[in-house]
Each structure stands twice: as C-alpha cells, then as structure tokens.
C-alpha cells in the first residue's frame, strides 16, 4: 500500500505503516511527473498546499495512492485542515486527519551541521518518516547565518547560503519531530544574521515579518520559484551582513 503523508504526522503513527511494509511518500514534495494544477484551489494560494492537493488527486486517481495521513493540527496549518475536509469527499481513498502534538524533542543536529543548506533541508525532509542513515556524518558548526522558516517550494534558494547557515523555525521543529512547538519555532540566535522565509500566502508570514523586524533580519516570501529579485536580496544580505 502507498501512504501519502502531509506535514509531519506522529512518528509512531507512520511507523505502523512502515512496519507492515507500506511505502510512505511525502505529498508536500515535488513529484517530477505531476504538475501543479490551478483548478483545485484559488489561484492566489500557498504553492505548497497547491502541490499537496495536485499530488494527492493525481496519484489517487491513478491508483498510485491508497491512504493519506494528513497533519491538520497546529503542526501544519489551517489551510491543510480545510483541504483535508474536501479531499475526504473528493477522493476514493481514506484521508486520515491527524494532529501531531508531540513535545518530546529528538534534537536537531542536521540544522546545526556542516552540510550545505540545501543538503540539510533535503535530509530533514527525507527523514520525516524514516531514520537518518547512520553513516551520515554531522559536524556541529558555529552559525554564520540563519535560515528561519519552512522548506521552500524551490530549493534553489538554499544554494545561496553558506554551509554554516543554521536552520531555525518550523523546519527545525520538523527535524525535532515537534512540528507544533511554537516556543522552539520562536527561538533564535539573536546575533546571527537571519533570513526569515515563508511561502507567499502563508499565515506564518505574519510571524516571519515580525521576527525579521525585531531581529533586523531579511524577510523573504516566495511563490513557486526563486526570482531574480529574491536572489538579489538574499545575495546582498549575505554579502553585507555575514562575516
């Protein structure tokens, strides 16, 4: 059976399916052969949730998805809760709504490691439902720069940052397996020049905007892809602020 997850459902919940040999796929991720359809959701909407919806509908209709495990609690967003409510009616497969309120942190060594920022992000996303490969060497670094926020729809953005960029915000909560831990989401290294990132049309942008002002960081929003102006802003911020 193929189980699609959205957000970060409880580890134990996902492992029930893993142990019986089911395949877990992350519906938040880009699937190369599936294009994002504008017909399912309003045009002006979060591109990650558009991707989740397109992935879920396309795969379910093709018989390549048999169950959806969707975090619809504080660990994800209101948008997913509303989408799950109509996916249940629309799809011929069960859509199980879960709420991950786990408060026991697993730690976040990937966020603080020497790996390039894109690799860090890929590893965090890959390990939502499976343990990290024990051969992966993670070396803790002193942060020269910070990336606060969610995994972006276009990971090219992350290639602009130095490897000593630490990850904060919801992505760090993802690695810690506590996606609803707002306290951790708000914790920062105040002296570290930080880029506060959210997707366009995400409610989290209110927090990112506030934190960017408070810590004199750079507030950046992106829709589908990295644009010339976003690239220029991030490059300029790193050039003048990161020593």
The window from 46-54, 56-64, 161-169, 181-189 that contacts another protein (CB under 8 A) reads: 161-169
Cβ atoms within 10 Å, residue 238: 18
Answer yes or no whether residue 200 interacts with another protein by CB under 8 A. no
Site track for another protein across 51-90, x = CB under 8 A? ----------------------------------------
Site membership for another protein, residue 142 (CB under 8 A): yes
- Closer of 40 and 147 to another protein (Cβ): 147
**Tokens read off for 136:** 């992966």
Site for another protein in 98-137 (CB under 8 A): 114
In whole angstroms, what is the distance from residue 199 CA to residue 45 CA? 9
Part in contact with another protein (CB under 8 A); list of ranges 92-100, 118-126, 172-180, 232-240: 232-240
Distance of CA 133 to the CA centre of its chain: 20
Question: How many residues interact with another protein (rule CB under 8 A)?
Answer: 31
Exactly one of 65, 218, 222, 226 binds another protein (CB under 8 A); that residue is: 218
Q: Does 15 engage in binding with another protein (CB under 8 A)?
A: no
CB of 220 to another protein, least distance (A): 10
Q: How long, in residues, is the chain? A: 243
Kindly tell me which of 11 and 155 has the beta carbon lying closer to another protein: 155
Contact window for another protein (CB under 8 A) among 27-35, 70-78, 146-154, 160-168: 160-168
Cα-Cα-Cα-Cα dihedral sign, residues 231, 232, 234, 239? positive
Q: Which is nearer to another protein, 40 or 219 (CB)?
A: 219
Sole binder of another protein in the list 126, 141, 154, 182 (CB under 8 A): 141
- HSE of 184, CA atoms in CB hemisphere, 13 A: 23
CA distance 62 to 57: 8
Q: Collapsing DSSP states into helix, strand and coil, what is residue 156?
A: helix
End-to-end CA distance of the chain, in Å?
Answer: 50
174 binds another protein (CB under 8 A): no
Distance of CA 209 to the CA centre of its chain: 18
**With binding defined as CB under 8 A, does residue 161 bind another protein?**
yes
- Answer left, alpha or beta for residue 52, where phi above 0 means left and psi between -120 and 50 means alpha: alpha
User: Helix, strand or coil for residue 26?
Assistant: strand
d(CA 140, CA 131): 19
Q: Which residues bind another protein (CB under 8 A)?
A: 114, 139-142, 144-145, 160-164, 193, 212-213, 216, 218, 227-229, 231-233, 235-242
């Amino acid at each position: 059976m193929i189980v699609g997850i959205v957000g970060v459902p409880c580890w134990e919940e996902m492992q029930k399916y893993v142990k019986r040999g089911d395949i877990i796929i992350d519906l938040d991720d880009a699937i190369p052969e599936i294009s994002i359809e504008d017909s399912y959701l309003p045009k002006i909407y979060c591109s990650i949730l558009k991707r989740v919806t397109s992935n879920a509908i396309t795969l379910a209709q093709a018989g390549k998805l048999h169950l959806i495990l969707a975090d619809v609690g504080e660990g994800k967003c209101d948008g997913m809760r509303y989408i799950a409510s109509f996916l249940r009616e629309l799809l011929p497969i069960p859509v199980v709504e879960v709420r991950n309120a786990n408060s026991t942190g697993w730690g976040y060594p990937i966020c603080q490691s020497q790996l390039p920022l894109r690799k860090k992000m890929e590893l965090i996303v890959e390990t939502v439902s499976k343990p990290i490969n024990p051969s992966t060497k993670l070396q803790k670094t002193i942060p020269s720069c910070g990336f606060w926020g969610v995994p972006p729809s276009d990971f090219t953005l992350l290639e602009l940052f130095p490897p000593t960029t630490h990850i904060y915000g919801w992505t760090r909560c993802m690695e810690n397996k506590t996606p609803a831990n707002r306290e951790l989401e708000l914790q920062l290294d105040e002296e570290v020049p930080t880029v506060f990132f959210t997707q366009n049309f995400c409610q989290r942008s209110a927090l990112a905007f506030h934190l960017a002002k408070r810590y004199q960081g750079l507030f950046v929003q992106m829709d589908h892809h990295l644009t010339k102006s976003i690239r220029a802003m991030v490059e300029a911020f790193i050039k003048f602020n990161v020593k």
